[in-house]
Amino acid sequence: MKVLVTGAAGFIGSNLVIRLLETGDTVIGIDNHNDYYDPSLKEARVARYENHRNYTHLRLDIRDGESLEKSFQTYKPECVVNLAAQAGVRYSIDNPMSYINNNIVGFANVLEACRQHQINHLVYASSSSVYGANTLVPFSIQHNVNHPISLYAASKRSNELMAHTYSHLYGIPTTGLRFFTVYGPWGRPDMALFKFAKLILSGEKIPVYNNGQHERDFTYVDDVVEGMVRILRSPARPNVEWESTNPEPGTSSAPWRLYNIGSDNPIQLLDYISLLEKELGLKAEVEMLPVQPGDIEKTRADVSELVDQFGYMPKTPIGVGVARFARWYKEFYKK
């Protein structure tokens, strides 16, 4: 296939690009290389595949609808994976407009380009954060998600609803993927494992929110990419049994679907830190702090739809994933 991937210099996006190229696909990567975190890390990710014969890298912003439209005209992708977004729950509390502009306006531009060019399938990143105030675990795509507790979560839920509208009105197959705390090599510096490694190696205190009682369904990046590739090759179809009198939240009479991608095996944050300590050979100094606004205290993914429809669920043990990250971090930063 010819696949256009936005956020191609990002954590998940760069790993997806490599996998698609390995399977023989042609990939057009889009990224604006902004400075939300160190741009040199983004450059290093892209350097792994920038010269591949089946890859084209475009440095543009999805907020620029005209430039995005031109890229579709020029390269004529068959499928699109939208991973470009302003990430981070805590950052959204102080910088809400960044999420409106990137995650809503930018996504609207992607949807419109998909409509104009009759894309076969749009797959886009949602988030486990959409479950918001819901405390019933494991989180299921059948659960209510109308009470987000951060603007980041609200922007991702908005993406799901926007995609449904385009699927309903224009027949574009769209699939939203609710990622659960993705981690692994080449990760983002604002994510827990990356921050913890940096602080442990520099001898600084680790801020541990909710007094370490947070539980997260950590999901290894290669497992997420595997799920994405399988779903990408199976465009969303209407649920012929969907009824408006008893609507199923994760499907529709339109070609629109939602899936959780998580390990279904949450662990406490303190146990996560212990695994990292073991791999780095150092003891962390922790600072216990109260829960932060916008944080969900416990996440766990119900991945039954993923298993039933694709015969797949994430399988990398947390200890293996943390070890691979620690090895990469020490090699990349020469620690």
- How is residue 29 written in tokens? 């990567």
Residue 255: cis peptide before it, omega within 30 degrees of 0: no
Active-site position among 152, 166, 209, 329: 152
Beta-carbon contacts of 157 under 8 Å, excluding residues fewer than 6 positions away, are: 126, 130, 145, 146, 148
- Residue in the structure block whose two tokens are 């591949």: 52
Collapsing DSSP states into helix, strand and coil, what is residue 69? Answer: helix
Q: How far is it, in rounded angstroms, from Cα 44 to Cα 33?
A: 11
- Residue in the structure block whose two tokens are 């951060």: 150
Q: How far is it, in rounded angstroms, from Cα 27 to Cα 8?
A: 10
Determine the residue type at 26: T
- How is residue 229 written in tokens? 């590739």
- How is residue 165 written in tokens? 């509208």
239 φ/ψ angles, rounded to the nearest 5 degrees = -90, 105
Q: How far is it, in rounded angstroms, from Cα 316 to Cα 320?
A: 7
Best CA proximity match to 135, nearest among 124, 145, 122, 125: 145
Neighbours of 296 (CB within 10 A): 23
Cβ atoms 82, 7 nearer than 8 A:
yes
Q: How far is it, in rounded angstroms, from Cα 256 to Cα 237?
A: 7
Integer distance in angstroms from the first to the last C-alpha of the chain? Answer: 40
Cβ atoms 208, 287 nearer than 8 A:
yes
Active site residue 259: no
Instruction: Give me the active site residues, please.
Output: 152
